[in-house]
Structure 1
Amino acid sequence: MILQTKLFDKLYRFGSVKEVLAKANEVKSGDELAGVAAEDATERVAAKVVLSNLTLEDIYNNPVVPYEDDEVTRIIIDGVNKRIYNEIKNWTVSDLREWVLSDTTTDYDIKRIRQGITSEMAAAITKLMTNMDLVIAAKKIIVEKTANTTIGRPGTFSSRLQTNHPTDDIDGIMAGIMEGLSMGIGDAVIGLNPNDDSVDSVVKILNKFEDFRAQWDVPTQCSVLAHVTTQMEAIKRGAPVGLCFQSIAGSEKGNTAFGINADMISEAYDLTLHEGQAAGPNVMYFETGEGSELSAEANFGADELTMESRCYGFAKKFDPYIVNTVVGFIGPEYLYNSKQVIRAGLEDHFMGKLQGISMGCDVCYTNHMKADQNDAENLAVLLGAAGCNYIMGVPHADDVMLNYESTGFQETATIREIFGYHPIKEFEDWMEKMDISHNGQLTERAGDASIFLN
């Protein structure tokens, strides 16, 4: 294993695979904050050169957190199909990149090979790709999952309806849901981030959601994004949980900071599958975001992209319906500006799909970040081109409870129009029945929440 290269008459030596991975990453303020970033562009290129020549076996043998110390590492390594891994272990990272990007490599091929790769391998090839590479590579990967309906089928583009309210006022929440549904938003999930995450409040909101969904026969699934233990208790009290939610991290220590572990998520999965509202088999909903491990001092000297990829390796064990990278939510400490946010969104989407995850993206930014709504729309369009399964639908793109900016209702409708995409089939049929759309086009009734008050 060679961890050095010479560029412009200067020898660059790296101490470990972890250091190579970190310094090969594109510029991220979080990596700079953690002290793991390349010193300059030349060292970054040198790290990319070294990384491109490492074998997949080198990457496999050097996880960024040791196997014996970390539950997430064990889940990733133990999930590898050894026969497939042995077929490709002598490939270089560059070989894997070229194979994924090749015109002759199909979704079928990738579905098989992904069983032989680790999350660090997925991160490694991502660091050697341009933004356009990430779009075209992700586009060819199809990931379908089923709860009440099936997300990710070719030609579809979905949305999560997110009508958060600073006081959980049910009338305010429902007004946003009615408006969003009238615009064709919510086919992925109707999901609320609660201000009050007590069991009683979660049960009350879930019952309200399900009563409305059943009354209007809306083909979707509902979720209240409280802690997983709260949702489990809500299920035990009879609450109609469609998707069971939890934020996850790329290390055991990071998950401990979220108050979870693999056994707890396994219990939640089993409970939701057998007592939840959705038919399944995919009933979990996870959220991630580059930088969360550093926030918890749980990155172990690894870069934020590699830790993010490990989130998807952890998620894969529980076969979720959707995973959402909340790409710019943490702030400029981890992604400084729009360029970094756009890059991270494309990276996360590709890494997730490569590992078999039904990926969505909260195309978002905080108000103290060097980004604006035009930047969010740029990333949303790129994700549309890349075959992203879903994005957020937030009233006016402004989350008044979480205090960040995201995508609204118009963005999903516009991306569907640009690329000729449709909502999930059953949801689009419902839109036609409600006269919200006709022959795939929104009607004059679209956006009129009063249709649910008649």
Structure 2
Amino acid sequence: MKLKTTYLGTVYQFSSLKDLFAKANEEKSGDRLAGIAAETVQERIAAKQVLSYLTLQDIRENPLLSPEEDEVSRIIEGQINEPTYQSIKNWSVSELREYILNDTTTGEDLKRLSRGLNSEMIAAVAKIMSNLDLVHAANKIEILSKCNITIGQKGVLASRLQPNHPTDNVEGMMASMKEGLAYGIGDAVIGINPVDDSVESVKRLLHATHDFIQKWEIPTQNCVLAHVTAQMKAVQQGAPADMIFQSIAGTEAANRSFGITALLLEEANEMAKVYGTGTGPQRLYFETGQGSELSAEAHYNIDQLTLESRNYGFARYYDPYIVNTVVGFIGPEYLYNNKQVIRAGLEDHFMGKMHGIPMGVDICYTNHIKADQNDIEDLGVLLTAAGVNFIIAAPMGDDCMLNYQSLSYHDVATLRQTLNKRPAPQFEAWLEKMGIFENGKLSKYAGDPTIFSR
């Protein structure tokens, strides 16, 4: 395995595959904070060049984090389809990129191919792709998933309605939810981040959303994004949860810092099947984000893009209904500015799709990052063009509980109208029945929550 090259008269020698992966990554403040980033643009280009010539076999046979010491690595390794891998193991990373982008390669081809790839291979090819490459490649892949309804169809842009409230006040949360539904938002999930993640609080919020969904016969799913153990207890006690949620990470140690293990998530999945109200077959919701492993001091000097890809390999094992990366949320220590946030959002979406999972994005930023609303609207356009399964929307784009900026309800409506996207078919039929949509477009009642007071 050659880890050396000469570029513009300078010899670049990389100490290991881990070192090469980190230095081939696009500029990320998190990698610099970890002390593993390329020192110069020239070193980054040299690293990309060396990486492009490595074979998929080189990557598999030199794991960045050994399966013997990490359960995420074991799960990723255990999912590789050997016949598919054997047919492509001698491809270089560059040849994998060419195959992905080739006009004759279909989305179905890529889904079959993905079963022979591990997460590090997918991360490697993302590192040598441009932003437009990432958009074009991801848009080829259609990933359908079903809980109560099916999302992910070509031409569909689904959305999570996020009616958070700073005191978990049900009346305030319901007001935001009604407004969002009146804009056609909420087909992927009505998902609440609670301030109080006690079992009783989770039960109260689940009952409130479920009762409203039942009353108005809304074809969607509910979820309260508390810790998985609180949701499991609530569901056992009869709370109506269509899905169970958990944030995940790309290493076993980082997952343990979240208070989870692979076994716990298997138990949650089984519990959702037995006690949950979702019809399935998929009943899990995972959330990720570049930099979480470094925050937990559990990154093993692996770059944050590669760790994020490992999230998706881990998630794939559980066959979730939805997964989303919260790009731009953790802060400038990991993604410093608009350029880094946009790049990370496109990388994450592509890597999720290449793992065959139903990938969404919370397109967002915090107030101490060098980005603004125009930047996340730009990323919204790019991801919609890339065929993202769903995006997240909060009232006026401002989450008053988590204190960060996301897309608004009307932003999602505008993206659909501008780029010729639709809500999920079952949800759109309900919108037409309610008079919120007319002939596939928002009606004069758009955004009017009094629709639910008639």
Does the alignment reach a TM-score above 0.5?
yes
3-state DSSP of counterpart to 1:204: helix
The letter of the residue matching 1:370 is K
Work out whether 1:180 is the aligned partner of 2:192: no
The whole-number CA distance in structure 2 between the counterparts of 1:63 and 1:154 is 35
Following TM superposition, where does structure 1 have runs of at least 4 consecutive aligned residues deviating by more than 4 angstroms?
A: none
Equivalences for residues 43-192 of structure 1 within 5 A: 43-192=43-192
The whole-number CA distance in structure 1 between the counterparts of 2:337 and 2:13 is 30
The whole-number CA distance in structure 2 between the counterparts of 1:248 and 1:107 is 26
The letter of the residue matching 1:314 is F
Aligned counterpart, 1:452: 452
Q: Once the two structures are superposed, what CA deviation does each residue of 1:404-431 show, in whole Å capped at 9, x if it has no partner?
A: 1000101111111112111011100000
Aligned counterpart, 2:402: 402
Equivalences for residues 366-385 of structure 1 within 5 A: 366-385=366-385
Q: Once the two structures are superposed, what CA deviation does each residue of 1:68-125 show, in whole Å capped at 9, x if it has no partner?
A: 1100000000110111111110000001010000001011111111100000001000
Aligned counterpart, 1:28: 28
Aligned-residue Cα RMSD (Å) equals 0.6
Offset of 1:350 from its aligned partner? 0.1
Aligned counterpart, 2:17: 17
The whole-number CA distance in structure 1 between the counterparts of 2:35 and 2:64 is 15
3-state DSSP of counterpart to 1:116: coil
Equivalences for residues 308-327 of structure 1 within 5 A: 308-327=308-327
3-state DSSP of counterpart to 2:115: helix
3-state DSSP of counterpart to 1:68: coil
The whole-number CA distance in structure 2 between the counterparts of 1:230 and 1:184 is 30
1:325, 1:361 within 8 Å by CA — same for their partners in 2? yes
The whole-number CA distance in structure 2 between the counterparts of 1:72 and 1:14 is 26
Q: Once the two structures are superposed, what CA deviation does each residue of 1:324-361 show, in whole Å capped at 9, x if it has no partner?
A: 10000000000000000000000000000000110110
Offset of 1:275 from its aligned partner? 1.7
- List gaps (5 residues or longer) in structure 2: none
The whole-number CA distance in structure 1 between the counterparts of 2:338 and 2:431 is 34
The whole-number CA distance in structure 2 between the counterparts of 1:410 and 1:121 is 38
Work out whether 1:426 is the aligned partner of 2:407: no
The whole-number CA distance in structure 1 between the counterparts of 2:63 and 2:381 is 34
Work out whether 1:261 is the aligned partner of 2:261: yes
Offset of 1:393 from its aligned partner? 1.2
Q: Once the two structures are superposed, what CA deviation does each residue of 1:172-231 show, in whole Å capped at 9, x if it has no partner?
A: 000000000010000000000000100011001101111000000000000000000111
The whole-number CA distance in structure 1 between the counterparts of 2:382 and 2:95 is 25
The whole-number CA distance in structure 1 between the counterparts of 2:19 and 2:88 is 23
The whole-number CA distance in structure 2 between the counterparts of 1:420 and 1:396 is 22
1:18, 1:62 within 8 Å by CA — same for their partners in 2? no
The whole-number CA distance in structure 1 between the counterparts of 2:9 and 2:159 is 51
The whole-number CA distance in structure 2 between the counterparts of 1:404 and 1:159 is 18
The letter of the residue matching 1:78 is G
Offset of 1:61 from its aligned partner? 1.4
The letter of the residue matching 1:448 is D
- List gaps (5 residues or longer) in structure 1: none
1:248, 1:288 within 8 Å by CA — same for their partners in 2? yes
The letter of the residue matching 1:18 is K
3-state DSSP of counterpart to 1:242: coil
Equivalences for residues 155-304 of structure 1 within 5 A: 155-304=155-304
The letter of the residue matching 2:72 is V
The whole-number CA distance in structure 2 between the counterparts of 1:175 and 1:18 is 49
Aligned counterpart, 1:342: 342
The whole-number CA distance in structure 2 between the counterparts of 1:99 and 1:411 is 34
The whole-number CA distance in structure 2 between the counterparts of 1:211 and 1:154 is 31
The letter of the residue matching 1:201 is S
3-state DSSP of counterpart to 1:67: coil
The whole-number CA distance in structure 2 between the counterparts of 1:11 and 1:273 is 56
The whole-number CA distance in structure 2 between the counterparts of 1:351 and 1:62 is 20
3-state DSSP of counterpart to 2:12: strand
The whole-number CA distance in structure 2 between the counterparts of 1:126 and 1:147 is 30
Work out whether 1:439 is the aligned partner of 2:428: no
3-state DSSP of counterpart to 1:299: coil
The whole-number CA distance in structure 2 between the counterparts of 1:336 and 1:201 is 35
The whole-number CA distance in structure 1 between the counterparts of 2:214 and 2:444 is 25
The whole-number CA distance in structure 2 between the counterparts of 1:407 and 1:227 is 24
Offset of 1:274 from its aligned partner? 2.2
The letter of the residue matching 1:198 is S
Offset of 1:63 from its aligned partner? 2.1
